[in-house]
Amino acid sequence: MDPLVIGVDSSTQSTKAAVVDAASGRLLAVGRAPHTVTGEGGARESDPERWWAALAEAVAAALAEAGADPRAVTGLAVAGQQHGLVVLDGAGRPLRPALLWNDTRSAPQAAALTGALGSGAWLERTGSVPVASMTAAKWRWLRENEPRSADAAAAVRLPHDFLTERLTGTAATDPGDASGTCWYSTATGAYDPELLALLELDPALLPRIAPSAGTRVGTLTPAAAEALGLPGGVPVAAGTGDNMAAAVGLGLGTRGLLDHPAVSLGTSGTVFAATRTRPATAALAGFAAADGHGTHLPLGCTLNCTLAVDRMAALLGLDREDAAPGGEAVVLPYLDGERTPDLPAAAGLITGVRHTTTPRQLLGAAYEGAVFALLRALEELPAQGAGGDAPLRLVGGGARGRAWVETVRRLSGRPVVLPRTTELVAVGAAALAAGAATGDDPVAVATAWGTGGGETLPPVAPDRDTLDRIASVLDRATPLLTTQGHR
């Protein structure tokens, strides 16, 4: 039997499990299972037990579709949505639903934490300034709003940590996902004791930090093996956050490509690059990469990407691809508040509408507003800048949509690479699983697989008029968006 590895992408909306040929990187099958997200007025929560059930369902579906013998599986790894706060009791069961990355109720706590130390001190320690998305702000929200849950916590985990622990019985995380908490220091490569004291978070509640996301942290327990339909003893990697896994799948890292930017179009939008430079700007999250070589993964994130544009399409009664350039219309699609720019209380804004404006133009303007925010963040990445012309690797669900691809090309003026591998988070996790099974460097594994390669679309002249129009509207509307929709 040819050896197989399984990479799991446990995202906001669903779990995907990829069965991959360990030698060639060929994607044999992908199984899927949905999650449930609840909450109103800024709240976004999910039951972690549903993540566990979805993981088992997705693995079973993938193995069945591939016609694979479970005995051929040699490694498994989980990549999870970043920043979510999971609090467990002494038996490892969730005390309450997890607070998700896009839960904006913790915006006041983020502002208070920033004020307590100042932006510069946070950047120096963690590489990031607290915003509502960060786990530290969510822990402070829990302490202030549900102190009984905080006091009862026997363990604090990130989403991928929770699943890895269910698989192995071992509490472990990796530098990449840990760097999104704002209690891990990218300067020292360890939890920061002074920040933990500020947060009133006992370090004994946290998992140990493995040297890298591909480090073998354990094997499937008998109970986990039975739940997943796999043999016991399969090696399990530490795993990482979804953005770090996508970077691995693209071959970004010390043993691969450095300073090559990627744009991910999913529920959220992200821009990131693997770099040896440790950034220090509040416009980016200064994450660590997953490879364990001291590589950084500076990342800009927007809350509103494909989900927000799809909602605009539904409101207009249009198919998501039925869009045209916005003309004079400007749409800032901040339907869930926004992280970049940091406007957690904002709602969507539409302006510049004329009698001649068509529904297709309004939908196109929503695409433009979402892409504009990502390009603003891209300018902050080391080695990119406003005049950068490096190809953009376009990934995520939106990368399969014509309207998204053409809007990125038109507004960026850069070449665009469309990787042939579509499930890069799950495939990146599969490379981590291969690392756990063989000891090989996961970025080197993904590079050998060639999963980051694909069609390259040439640049087109950037649409400066649209860029300038959106920038002008955002500058003038920021005071309104800052106070809009206080929750």
Give the C-alpha separation, 454 to 462, whole Å: 23
Q: What is the DSSP string of 38-65?
A: B-STT--EE-HHHHHHHHHHHHHHHHHH
Give the C-alpha separation, 24 to 4, whole Å: 10
In the chain, what's the furthest Cα-to-Cα distance?
A: 66
Give phi and psi for 248, each to the nearest 5. -60, -45
The pair of three-digit structure tokens given for residue 34, joined into one six-digit string:
């949905």
Q: Pick from 11, 9, 145, 4: which is nearest to 79 by CA?
A: 9
What are the distances in angstroms from CA 482 to CA 341, 348, 356? 10, 12, 30
Task: Label the pairing between strands 155-157 and 269-272.
Answer: unpaired
Q: Residues annotated in the binding site, as ranges?
A: 82-83
Give the C-alpha separation, 20 to 28, whole Å: 6
Angle in degrees, CA 175, 178, 181, rounded to 5? 150
**Tokens 């133009």 sit on residue:** 361
Give the C-alpha separation, 369 to 466, whole Å: 10
The pair of three-digit structure tokens given for residue 89, joined into one six-digit string:
């009791």
Residues counted in the chain: 487
Contact predicate 267/11, CB 8 Å: yes
| Cα end-to-end distance, the chain, whole Å | 57
Give the C-alpha separation, 374 to 334, whole Å: 13
Neighbour-count burial of 57, counting CB atoms closer than 10 A to its CB (0-12 exposed, 13-18 middle, 19+ buried)? middle
Q: Residues annotated in the binding site for substrate, as ranges?
A: 82-83
Annotated catalytic residue, options 103, 161, 177, 242:
242
Catalytic residue flag (residue 475): no
Give phi and psi for 21, each to the nearest 5. -70, 120
**Catalytic sites, residue numbers:** 242
